[in-house]
Amino acid sequence: MTDYNDSLDLTGIACPNNFVRTKLKLEEMEPGQILEVILDDGEPIRNVPRAVKEDGHEILKAEKIDNKWKILIKKA
Amino acid sequence: MTEYNIKELKSGGLMKQKEKDIFSLRLRIVGGFVKSEQLIKLSEIANKFGEGYIHLTTRQGIEIPNVNIKDFETVKKELAGVELQMGACGQRVRTVTACQGKECSHGLIDCLLLAKEVDKKYFGIGGHPHKFKIGITGCPNACIKPQENDLGIMGRLKKRFVKENCNYCGLCAEICPVGAIEVDRDSEKILFDADKCIGCGDCVYSCPTDAWRKRQEGYAIFVGGKMGKFPKLGVKVFDFIETKERVFEIIDKTLEFYKKFGNKGERFRETLDRVGVEKYKNKVS
């Protein structure tokens, strides 16, 4: 499950811009495709996965690497 | 102003200004929710009878300043046309404040519905030693500041854990604001400290695999908050009330307690401090 169709590095991008950029990227993608998102810990990891879930997408994986999080999102 | 009893007028939301015969009209607004048609009417009234503006209060209310008392009955009729009524001043149950509740992604309870029900049952009720304020907030973020009210209600959530769904990613432990969750990835173990949990639901709403799920919504109750000259924050007396019926029972019993034990002119916090929170808790339990 480490394959993905597209990737977004949102390191240093504050809320809510990180979610907006995730949302826009997902809109460009096809249902079922997978987006990798890199988020900072703190507020971004607190807000983005939750908002992605609320929009109906599936989070396949969340993995902490040092002080960042790698999230795999399957577009609904 | 001999023909009007100022105190009587004040109880119905009319607040005398410094100028002779000029009043500010306080309206009954619930939880800061105002319909657009009401806003249009308020704009008309402020232009025609006031000075073209309204004032937003700290408790999400609306006041129309600079209205001459001779126009009061006309304004009242115009307000009634869009289902608006005069508010409450004096020693009464005041405007019920509420956050957006379910319209907010953090909200755990339907604050507007509850605020309407509380307002319907208690708004303007007098006979207490002093004013009584009720505020309803949807989650532990406490945006409506329930701890600043004589009685504050806060939405909370109890959760359950579905072990089969968990992949031990650790996201819940990362985002929990009180460190109530520990995840051991290597031995695939979750440690949850229920005493630390504040019931915000963050773990439930963020869990990638739906391993944390909502079990039940409920209400925490705070009492004795006040602002003014001598501010004090309310204290949490109930951690998790399961039903709305019980919340109403607590409000009923709290107002009874305040009437019975409060000295004249005393805010509820002062009654609590004098009589004791434990005695209060026994009476309402």
Q: pLDDT digits over B128-154, tens only?
A: 999 999 999 999 999 999 999 999 999
Range of the domain at A20: 1-35+52-67
Does position B218 have pLDDT exceeding 50, yes or no? yes
Q: B-chain residues within 8 Å CB-CB of A16? A: none
In a domain, A11, yes or no: yes
Under the banding of pLDDT at 50, 70 and 90, the label for residue B5 is: low
Please state, for a pLDDT cut of 70, what percent of chain A lies above it: 97
In a domain, A22, yes or no: yes
Predicted pLDDT of residue B83: 97
In a domain, A30, yes or no: yes
Q: Which of B115, B113, B116, B106 is nearest to B138 (CA)?
A: B106
Please identify every stretch of chain A with a pLDDT value under 70, giving residue numbers as ranges: 1-2
Q: Which of A41, A46, A51 sits opposite B202 (nearest CB)?
A: A46
In a domain, A21, yes or no: yes
Contact A61 B167 (CB under 8 A): yes
Render pLDDT for B88-118 as a digit per residue (tens, 0 to 9).
988 999 999 999 999 998 999 999 999 999 9
Nearest CA distance, B226 vs chain A (angstrom):
31
pTM: 0.91
Domains and CATH numbers, chain B: 6-80 (3.30.70.3340), 97-156+218-284 (3.30.413.10), 157-216 (3.30.70.20)
Under the banding of pLDDT at 50, 70 and 90, the label for residue B1 is: very low
Q: Is A15 a catalytic residue?
A: yes
Contact B169 A61 (CB under 8 A): yes
Q: Which of A4, A15, A51, A68 is catalytic?
A: A15
Instruction: Summarize the confidence of residues B44-56 as an average pLDDT.
Output: 98
Pairing of strands B151-161, B134-137: parallel
In a domain, A74, yes or no: no
Q: Which residue numbers of A have CB closer than 8 Å to B's CBs? A: 41, 45-46, 49-51, 53-54, 59-64, 69, 71
The DSSP annotation for A13-47 comes to PPTTHHHHHHHHHHHHSPTT-EEEEEEETTHHHHH
Q: Which residue numbers of B have CB closer than 8 Å to A's CBs? A: 105, 167, 169-171, 174-175, 202, 205-206, 208-209
Burial of A43 (C-beta count, 10 Å sphere; 0-12/13-18/19+): middle
Contact B202 A50 (CB under 8 A): yes
DSSP 3-state of B215: strand
Predicted pLDDT of residue B89: 87
Q: Which of A46, A54, A63 sits opposite B169 (nearest CB)?
A: A63
What is the ipTM, given to two decimal places? Answer: 0.88
In a domain, A61, yes or no: yes
Asked if the bond preceding A16 is cis, omega within 30° of 0, the reply is yes
- Per DSSP, helices labelled H in B144-267 are 171-175, 202-206, 244-261
Please state, for a pLDDT cut of 70, what percent of chain B lies above it: 96
- Per DSSP, helices labelled H in chain B are 6-11, 36-49, 72-80, 111-122, 171-175, 202-206, 244-261, 268-275, 277-284
**B25 with B13: CB under 8 angstroms?**
yes
What average pLDDT does chain B have?
Answer: 94
CB atoms within 10 A of CB A35: 22
Q: How far apart are CA B262 and CA B150, in angstroms?
A: 13
CA atoms within 13 A on the CB side of B96: 23
Amino acid found at B51? E
In a domain, A47, yes or no: no
Domain count, chain A: 1
In a domain, A23, yes or no: yes
